[in-house]
Amino acid sequence: MKKTILVGVAILAVSTSGALAAKKMAKPKPAPAAATATTTAAAPPPMLGQVSAADRALYEKSQRESGMKKK
């Protein structure tokens, strides 16, 4: 009985934590206008694991073939 309740509480905690994280990410705060006008940032460093054009083309082809619509 205790194991069933514990599993239920764990599932509830995991499912609600994702919903709360998505809710917080929905409305990012805009940066102050004065701070963005005076600072100049260097180009970001290249990220590891970027998607190549061939990978993107294959992904789009797979989406079309599976019948998924574009967002």
User: pLDDT, tens digit, for every residue of 18-62?
Assistant: 666 666 666 667 776 655 455 566 766 666 777 888 988 998 899
pLDDT at 12 over 90: no
CA gap 63, 34 in Å, rounded: 43
- Averaged pLDDT, 8-27: 71
What are the CA-CA distances from residue 49 to residues 4, 46, 52, 54, 58 (Å)? 41, 9, 9, 14, 16
Structure tokens at 15: 């499912």
pLDDT-derived band at 3 (thresholds 50, 70, 90) equals confident
Question: Would the pLDDT of 63 be above 80?
Answer: yes
Largest Cα–Cα distance in the chain?
Answer: 62
Structure tokens at 43: 């180009």
